[in-house]
Structure 1
């Protein structure tokens, strides 16, 4: 994806306005030019959907020219850290996963928001609300399984420890935090204490012969080959894999669903803070929310975005499950992340 800046919207509007006068055209007034909004975002399908639904679909008609700054999570965090004492940051909006956004809030790099500044926050699911970012899209950890091999749909995360699945359980190395959280829940722990789950992880290793695969893509390949039958992963992944032909189903665990949200925030020194706040509000519009659900399988974070019934059946959460989302304790993870990863690498994988 190109990172070239788009042609100036100011020049475009000026030329269009002049042409309309010369031609004697009548119609609604052109939106007032409100300047550029630079959004530091992911590329690929994500950036394309964002451009279509938010940048062009909502912000452009309101008079904003949106420039996408395509970068990695690490690059975005580095800029937020290093630029926060400058007069102006290099972008207006930052997109990060929830666990990556939290440390940025802790160092004071993000603008606080509320319903007065972002009116669409009133429609956001309560479990996903933050004072420093909006949840743009989300998915959740569930049990994914091959229905040809697992004839009775699982009901609990504890089913991964069922002896009948010995040798056929797989977990993704990329999801060490989520898998550790699942083990903690099975052991009676919580999102704020993963220690009880360590013995359960060792049981997966020693008693279940778990396959620890290097990536989510490797999980999909192992399902396809029959090497694994059951795992825990995000439903958005299952949606994509199923669209590509993989025979896979999802079951919401009785313990609850563990969400991951991709969030948007505004640096405290954003060059165009008014435009940045407008961008956050636009990202919560139902039309933008449903666009990501249809293309990538991520759920809307707002209550008034209506999905097609078939799509809702594939990725949705019943209302009662939305009310009991088991959010990870970001403060706990920030303090204990090195310890959690060390156990995973040395004891579980070693």
Structure 2
């Protein structure tokens, strides 16, 4: 049996399809490329699209460039949700570039560690993930496992030490932590610079994350201040490198998710951020990349839990004031350059 549709019916059907297509909203977000962006698409963006009839457009834009774009687009922003990893949300909130989020607008807010929601009152987005900076060591060749930042000065590690250049955020935060354990402050970095100066004739100075892996693999590195997620990357490459949380605490990189001001889909943008804060999503990022979850309800298996700062240990994380650090960064880098040029 053949079915014949009238012209009117075809027009009606086309109108319904067009209406359905128009009903699909779009969110524009930034990510940071690589494995992180790939996981975001698999764990967050694609499931959220299916559940909410929304299209998510992803642009690879890093934090500092993202802030610059928001400033340039202030009167006509092009993004709905932006992520920062360098504290740029503090500046963005003060400049009115991002919209405040109320705790009651996030179903997971009550389950987040207090530090993850502390910025909401200042108009910043919640902290979604964290990577701690501690000590990496080669468990087969190092004489023993370190337990303190001051162990970097222990002569038993001889000339098998890696230091990271301050142009790298991990290196900068590690330096600020060393400064703190030797009595310095953000206002006085002389103690840290002087103590690091004592290590220069024993260390290899690297500038990028891949160089850390290369030095453990090829140059018999034993110990390095670096991040917990990269310790996992090195172990996956076959190197026997472990991450240690020093007893004095750890600086950390805090990833925040923020709603851009003056955009039409504010409620949907907040819903996307809330989805990323779920225990299931955060457990997956801990498992795949060894990022620390900020949702206290996140359950980690024993292997992951042994390599990720979580639970009560999350209170050992140190967050240096992002705006202060940003303001002193260039001067500190110049002082560092003079130090290593001696």
Q: Say which SS state the counterpart of residue 59 (structure 2) adopts.
A: strand
Check 1:119–1:239 CA distance in 2 against 1; reply closer, same or farther (3 A cut).
same
Unaligned runs of at least 5 residues, structure 1 = 1-10, 19-31
Q: Say which SS state the counterpart of residue 104 (structure 2) adopts.
A: coil
1:225 equivalent among 187, 197, 218: 218
- Report the Cα offset of residue 17 of structure 1: 11
Q: Say which SS state the counterpart of residue 103 (structure 2) adopts.
A: coil
Q: Say which SS state the counterpart of residue 119 (structure 1) adopts.
A: coil
Identify the residue that residue 24 of structure 1 maps to in structure 2: none
* Structure 2: distance between partners of 1:106 and 1:344: 30
Provide, for residues 100-152 of structure 1, a one-character-per-residue CA deviation record: whole Å limited to 9, x for no partner. Answer: 33332332211112212223222222123322112121110111101122232
Identify the residue that residue 333 of structure 2 maps to in structure 1: 341
| 1:197 partnered with 2:192 | yes
Q: Retained in 1: the 8 A contact 2:130–2:255?
A: yes
Q: TM-score, normalised by structure 1?
A: 0.84
Q: Retained in 2: the 8 A contact 1:240–1:297?
A: no
* Structure 2: distance between partners of 1:105 and 1:113: 11
Q: Say which SS state the counterpart of residue 57 (structure 2) adopts.
A: strand
| 1:329 partnered with 2:321 | yes
2:68 equivalent among 61, 78, 84: 78
Provide, for residues 16-64 of structure 1, a one-character-per-residue CA deviation record: whole Å limited to 9, x for no partner. Answer: 999xxxxxxxxxxxxx956111112222222221112111223431232
Check 1:346–1:106 CA distance in 2 against 1; reply closer, same or farther (3 A cut).
farther
1:183 equivalent among 178, 192, 195: 178
1:37 equivalent among 11, 24, 27: 27
Check 1:194–1:121 CA distance in 2 against 1; reply closer, same or farther (3 A cut).
farther
Q: Say which SS state the counterpart of residue 275 (structure 2) adopts.
A: helix
Identify the residue that residue 171 of structure 1 maps to in structure 2: 163
* Structure 2: distance between partners of 1:65 and 1:291: 22
Q: Retained in 1: the 8 A contact 2:87–2:323?
A: no
Q: Report the number of matched residues.
A: 320
Unaligned runs of at least 5 residues, structure 2 = 1-12
* Structure 2: distance between partners of 1:16 and 1:291: 37
* Structure 1: distance between partners of 2:279 and 2:190: 40
RMSD: 2.4
Q: Retained in 1: the 8 A contact 2:63–2:86?
A: no
Q: Retained in 2: the 8 A contact 1:92–1:270?
A: yes
Higher Rg:
2
Q: Retained in 1: the 8 A contact 2:177–2:250?
A: no
Runs of 4+ residues deviating >6 angstroms: none
Q: TM-score, normalised by structure 2?
A: 0.86
Q: Retained in 1: the 8 A contact 2:132–2:309?
A: no
